[in-house]
Structure 1
Amino acid sequence: MESSGNEVPPKSSTGLDENIAGLLCYLGTFVTGIIFFVLEKKSTFVKFHAMQSIVLFVSLWILGLGVGYVPFVGWLLKSLISLTTFILWIVLMVKAYQRERIKLPVVGDIAENLMGNFDDHP
């Protein structure tokens, strides 16, 4: 069946289109991830992006703190982590806006497992 182009985009329980809410999950790194994970009640798309944002950015933040103490090369490692964080931040916002459920290796699996754990408990 062909699309007429007049389809209404799916909404999240926040009232935003799912792709906008997904983008916003990454905009403020783990902070907006937490906000959207708590607020979202129905969209698994938004909840996944929120949890992936939390897991990714908290992990990178901790890793960045840790490598800062490595003698001689800590500053270089921290710079590489910062660059990687920036690139992932942009790519994930764009992909969420394009309605893609891009799942990062390891981080995406952890996010899905955590989502399941939260869904099982009221």
Structure 2
Amino acid sequence: MSAEIQQQTAEQETTESSTGLDSNVAGALAYLLGPLTGIIFYVIEEDDRFVKFHAAQSIVFLGGLVILSIVLSTLLTVLTLVPVIGWIISAVIGLIGLLFAPIMLVVWAFLMYKAYQGAEYSIPVVGAFARSRMVE
């Protein structure tokens, strides 16, 4: 068998996690509600490293986006109090945020899709950080 066929076969094999769900389903669900479901699956999953990895990556990536969103919202609120220049800066940051949001939505859907396929897709930097924080 070629390496590509072996990889596809390995990705298609599913095991059952300690949640009672197939690993690929639990991995995809870890992303569903952002860091909330990531935390839930990280805490309740006992043995399945695949599910724990996707849960940890969900916590780090999507949790980071939530924190970034809160910080930017606070910054924009403060900037709107500054006449003219604050309004201009907050408008520019707001427009960048509007462009950034659909990209993050696509990344979120892609991560759920890859987890459902059974692939342990790792976001550069974020995935390595999440993997290093996983408790054995």
TM-score (norm 2): 0.75
Does structure 2 conserve the Cα–Cα contact (< 8 Å) formed by 1:67 and 1:77? Answer: no
* Aligned residues with identical type, % of pairs: 43
Matched residue, 1:93:
112
Residue of 33, 36, 40 corresponding to 2:38: 33
SS in 2 for 1:32: helix
Does structure 1 conserve the Cα–Cα contact (< 8 Å) formed by 2:45 and 2:51? Answer: yes
- Per-residue CA deviation, residues 74-113 of structure 1 (Å, 9 max, x unaligned), is 1122223321221111101110000000000111011011
Shift of 1:8: 7.2
Does structure 2 conserve the Cα–Cα contact (< 8 Å) formed by 1:92 and 1:102? Answer: yes
Listed as ranges, the matches of 1:1-122 within 5 Å are: 9-68=14-73, 69=76, 71-115=90-134, 118-119=135-136
- Per-residue CA deviation, residues 20-66 of structure 1 (Å, 9 max, x unaligned), is 00010011111100000000000000000000001001111222233
RMSD: 2.2
Any unmatched runs of 5+ in structure 2?
2-8, 77-88
Any unmatched runs of 5+ in structure 1?
none
| d(CA) in 2 for partners of 1:56, 1:35 | 15
| d(CA) in 2 for partners of 1:57, 1:65 | 12
Q: Structure 1 89/17 Cα, relative in aligned 2: closer, same or farther at 3 Å?
A: same
| More helix per residue | 2
Q: How many residues matched?
A: 114
